[in-house]
């Protein structure tokens, strides 16, 4: 490198102006959106998702007619924000005239975009249409849109232009549920508009027509669906909608609320072919990172409301919001932080202040967020870690120090990589000279600058040789936690440079304990297995535990005869647990050779009970996976094998039981409250993987 150039780089470094890593774009141009085929390969999928993964941070905007009442109705403070039509039970004929009051004279799209950009946000998701059905763009398909307001301007069009000018990516939220569109079903209970002429598939066609308008006019990079939970929207509708939008725009990214596979507010996507390119945890952050390759984005309000409510002043402090951003990025997710503009088109001052403060931090530290991926550590007691790969094959760790550790050092537990010779430095002042990095067994220890007070989050940078190798608890590989005659154990760790030691009596493994690295271990008695890694003679990482029980199989029952199929009964009522319908007379009954909801008597507030026998094809250990919305419970004989009871959105639980070959009394109770309904029961057993229970195994 010519001297002059190296001096320039040195000057930049010492001035704290660290050139961003090569693989980041910001802020000069929009990212390249990659069009891929519907049946895309993993590499094609990665190419389509790249800009979104790189972004890590976006602005959510909930704005519409509901900003006018802002949580008040007929002079009363009702709350409800964007849900006010529903929560105050307002008839559409009384709600829709708000259209004539919509005149946000202070709407300034460039101001909105610059607030987002200066906060370090890379995309904006705005509600093109929320549940009330009002459209923020001039639609050819309805008069219930912005064109029919005193304001009249194309809000989405103006925002799209401001985004393009500033290198911010425009994305659109679009609600499937629509409380005012005449073909949408179900009607709200207080909505007495006749439903007999309503045609739900005509509504789906209307929705597709509007999505075509939005794609053609504004080219949203993400379609953020919502309101998928009412029973009228099916998995088939969701699959078709995903395919439709990915066909009209092969580069578009679609969230998992387009389909019906979202696991409630936890937001992740159930297995089984449910569509969606990323999961959507809402108002919560997953406790740990996700398996590699699972994309997700937490959406969250700054206060308690998505839509504007003047009295909702419970804004989260800047430190809390910023640390959520860092926590999410350290788990490999995106953060979609919401603002609800008021009826004049203004962001609340509290929102502006917090975004500006976050922007001050991002101005210095944005490379520790943009383009990074999840931490290599499960748990750090002083903060979080994000990282990126470097062109030379090394890895850059960004160490986010939230709280000053007592001893002025931070410990990186179990990391076997050596630091590159440069050592560690403060991202904010890279030229201030390296920080001492020492190896302490399997840990690296970094000495913090004297008296450093981390404030909201102080970022240290440490480059390590090669991809991170971090030793944590070994994994104890065993098929099931119960066994009949014997069980086979295998132990594994992330590196061959560590030894694995284990015990079977629940005591903590020592260096002299049994060696877990010499192949499968067979046990024939119940055991509490504990395993730990050792590096250069010292323990490293946490202890792994597995309780394994030897059991006797449940005896099969002898019956004189059995016929194919389970008996089912349905029961009507608003239940909260499966016990609630135990004594309610059946409304209908019949026989089923598969477990599904084809017999459901109505979309909501019903229960189904399946009774009969389950035929175990051979003696062995069986696992049952029960996925339901709402509650369910599976009993075999007198054993509750899976208890998935209660009012909840889609949730999967599983349980194991040892069965003798033959027939076993079987009872599955399920109830549905309101919204989405699902009941999926699968089993696995000796020599077969998880699958639906075949008809030949269901008797009565």
Binding-site ranges for ligand FHN (CB under 6 A): 82-83, 226, 282, 299, 306
Q: How far is the CB of 225 from ligand FHN (least distance, A)?
A: 10
Q: How far is the CB of 497 from ligand FHN (least distance, A)?
A: 45
Q: What is the DSSP letter of 598?
A: T
Our CB check for ligand FHN shows the closer of 338 and 513 to be 338
Q: How far is the CB of 313 from ligand FHN (least distance, A)?
A: 19
Quick one: 174 exposed, middle or buried, by C-beta within 10 A (0-12, 13-18, 19+)? buried
Our CB check for ligand FHN shows the closer of 82 and 472 to be 82
Q: How far is the CB of 224 from ligand FHN (least distance, A)?
A: 8
Q: Give the bridge partners for 411, in sequence order.
A: 445
How far is 288 from 384, CA to CA, in rounded Å? 12
Whether the CB-CB separation of 647 and 630 falls below 8 Å is answered with yes
560 CB neighbour count, 10 Å cutoff: 4
Q: What is the DSSP letter of 663?
A: E
Our CB check for ligand FHN shows the closer of 83 and 123 to be 83
SS3 of the chain: helix, strand, coil, percent, to 5 = 20, 30, 45
Our CB check for ligand FHN shows the closer of 62 and 388 to be 62
Place of tokens 């996700």: 290
Paired tokens of 221:
């990079």
Q: How far is the CB of 347 from ligand FHN (least distance, A)?
A: 17
Of 371, 429, 428, the residue nearest 395 (C-alpha): 371
Q: How far is the CB of 302 from ligand FHN (least distance, A)?
A: 13
Peptide bond into 387 cis (omega under 30): no
DSSP readout, 179-229?
A: SS-TT-SSPPTT--S--TT--HHHHHHHHHHHHHHHHHHH--SEEEEE---
Our CB check for ligand FHN shows the closer of 299 and 369 to be 299
Q: How far is the CB of 518 from ligand FHN (least distance, A)?
A: 51
Of 318, 359, 286, the residue nearest 57 (C-alpha): 359
Q: How far is the CB of 100 from ligand FHN (least distance, A)?
A: 23
Our CB check for ligand FHN shows the closer of 226 and 277 to be 226
Paired tokens of 50:
């790249």
Paired tokens of 65:
């007619």
Count CA within 13 A, CB hemisphere, residue 696.
Answer: 2
Of 615, 634, 611, the residue nearest 556 (C-alpha): 615
Paired tokens of 461:
């940078």
Alpha-carbon radius of gyration of the chain: 29
Residues in the chain: 700
Q: How far is the CB of 343 from ligand FHN (least distance, A)?
A: 17
Q: CA separation (Å) from 257 to 216, 663, 697?
A: 22, 41, 35
Our CB check for ligand FHN shows the closer of 85 and 476 to be 85
Q: How far is the CB of 537 from ligand FHN (least distance, A)?
A: 51
Our CB check for ligand FHN shows the closer of 226 and 343 to be 226
Q: Which residue is nearest to ligand FHN (CB)?
A: 306
Of 72, 214, 31, the residue nearest 140 (C-alpha): 214
Our CB check for ligand FHN shows the closer of 305 and 417 to be 305
Q: How far is the CB of 282 from ligand FHN (least distance, A)?
A: 5
For residue 254, give every residue at least 6 positions away whose Cβ sits within 8 Å of its Cβ, in sequence order, or none. 222, 223, 225, 242, 245, 246, 275, 276, 277
How far is 310 from 314, CA to CA, in rounded Å? 11
Our CB check for ligand FHN shows the closer of 306 and 610 to be 306
Count CA within 13 A, CB hemisphere, residue 648.
Answer: 21
Our CB check for ligand FHN shows the closer of 359 and 675 to be 675
Our CB check for ligand FHN shows the closer of 82 and 259 to be 82
Q: How far is the CB of 604 from ligand FHN (least distance, A)?
A: 17
Q: CA separation (Å) from 666 to 111, 290, 621?
A: 63, 35, 16
Q: How far is the CB of 139 from ligand FHN (least distance, A)?
A: 20
Q: How far is the CB of 348 from ligand FHN (least distance, A)?
A: 17
Q: At what angle do helices 109-118 and 155-166 cross, to 10 degrees?
A: 40
Our CB check for ligand FHN shows the closer of 226 and 463 to be 226
Q: What are phi and psi of 431, to 5 degrees?
A: -80, 0
Our CB check for ligand FHN shows the closer of 307 and 454 to be 307
């Amino acid at each position: 490198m010519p001297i002059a150039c190296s001096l320039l780089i040195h000057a930049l470094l010492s001035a704290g102006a660290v050139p961003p890593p090569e693989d980041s774009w910001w802020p000069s141009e929009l990212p390249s959106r990659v069009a891929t085929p519907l049946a895309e390969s993993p590499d094609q999928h990665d190419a389509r998702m790249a800009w979104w993964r790189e972004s890590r941070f976006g602005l959510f905007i909930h704005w519409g007619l509901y900003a006018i009442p802002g949580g008040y109705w007929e002079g009363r403070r009702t709350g409800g924000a964007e849900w006010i039509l529903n929560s105050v039970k307002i008839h559409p004929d009384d709600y829709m005239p708000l259209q004539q009051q919509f005149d946000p004279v202070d709407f300034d799209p460039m101001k909105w975009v610059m607030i987002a950009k200066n906060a370090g946000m890379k995309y904006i998701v705005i509600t093109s249409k929320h549940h009330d059905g009002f459209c923020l763009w001039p639609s050819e398909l309805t008069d219930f849109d912005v064109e029919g307001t005193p304001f009249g301007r194309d809000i989405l069009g103006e925002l799209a232009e401001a985004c393009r000018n500033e290198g911010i990516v425009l994305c659109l939220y679009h609600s499937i549920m629509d409380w005012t569109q005449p073909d949408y079903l179900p009607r709200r209970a207080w909505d007495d508009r006749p439903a007999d002429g309503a045609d739900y598939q005509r509504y789906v066609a209307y929705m597709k027509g509007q999505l075509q308008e939005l794609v053609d006019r504004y080219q949203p990079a993400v379609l953020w669906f919502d309101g998928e939970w009412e029973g009228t929207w099916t998995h088939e509708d969701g699959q078709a909608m995903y395919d439709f939008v990915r066909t009209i725009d092969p580069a578009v990214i679609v969230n998992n609320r387009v389909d019906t596979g979202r696991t409630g507010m936890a937001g992740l996507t159930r297995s089984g072919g449910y569509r969606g390119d990323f999961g959507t945890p809402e108002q919560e952050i997953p406790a740990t990172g996700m398996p590699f390759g699972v994309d997700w984005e937490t959406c969250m309000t700054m206060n308690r409301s998505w839509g504007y409510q003047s009295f909702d002043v419970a804004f989260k402090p800047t430190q809390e919001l910023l640390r959520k951003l860092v926590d999410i990025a350290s788990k490999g997710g995106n953060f979609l932080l919401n603002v609800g503009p008021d009826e004049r088109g203004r962001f609340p001052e509290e929102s502006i202040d917090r975004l500006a403060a976050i922007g001050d931090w991002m101005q210095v530290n944005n490379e520790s967020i943009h383009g990074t991926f999840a931490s290599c550590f499960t748990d750090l007691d002083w903060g979080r870690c994000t990282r990126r790969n470097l062109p030379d094959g090394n890895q850059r760790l960004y160490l986010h120090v939230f709280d000053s550790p007592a001893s002025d050092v931070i410990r990186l537990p179990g990391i076997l990589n050596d630091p590159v010779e440069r050592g560690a430095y403060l991202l904010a002042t890279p030229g201030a000279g390296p920080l001492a990095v020492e190896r302490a067994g399997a840990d690296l220890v970094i000495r913090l600058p004297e008296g450093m007070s981390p404030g909201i989050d102080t970022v240290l940078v440490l480059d390590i040789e090669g991809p991170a190798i971090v030793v944590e608890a070994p994994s104890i590989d065993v098929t099931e936690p119960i066994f009949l005659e014997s069980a086979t154990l295998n132990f594994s760790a992330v590196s061959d440079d560590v030894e694995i030691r284990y015990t079977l009596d629940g005591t903590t493994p020592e260096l002299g304990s049994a060696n877990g690295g010499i192949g499968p271990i067979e046990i024939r008695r119940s055991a509490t297995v504990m395993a730990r890694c050792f590096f250069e003679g010292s323990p490293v990482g946490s202890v792994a535990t597995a309780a394994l029980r030897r059991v006797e199989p449940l005896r099969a029952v002898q019956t004189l005869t059995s016929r194919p199929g389970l008996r089912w009964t349905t029961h009507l009522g608003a239940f909260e647990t499966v016990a609630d319908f135990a004594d309610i007379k059946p409304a209908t009954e019949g026989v089923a050779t598969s477990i599904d909801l084809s017999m459901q008597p109505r979309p909501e507030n019903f229960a189904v009970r399946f009774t009969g026998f389950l035929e175990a094809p051979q003696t062995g250990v069986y696992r049952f996976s029960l996925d339901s919305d709402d509650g369910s419970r599976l009993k075999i004989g007198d054993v509750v094998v899976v208890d998935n009871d209660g009012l909840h959105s889609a949730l999967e639980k599983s349980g194991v039981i040892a069965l003798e070959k033959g027939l076993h009394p079987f009872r599955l109770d399920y109830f549905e409250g309101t919204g989405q309904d699902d009941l999926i029961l699968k089993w696995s057993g000796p020599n077969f993987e998880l699958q639906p229970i075949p008809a030949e195994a269901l008797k009565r």
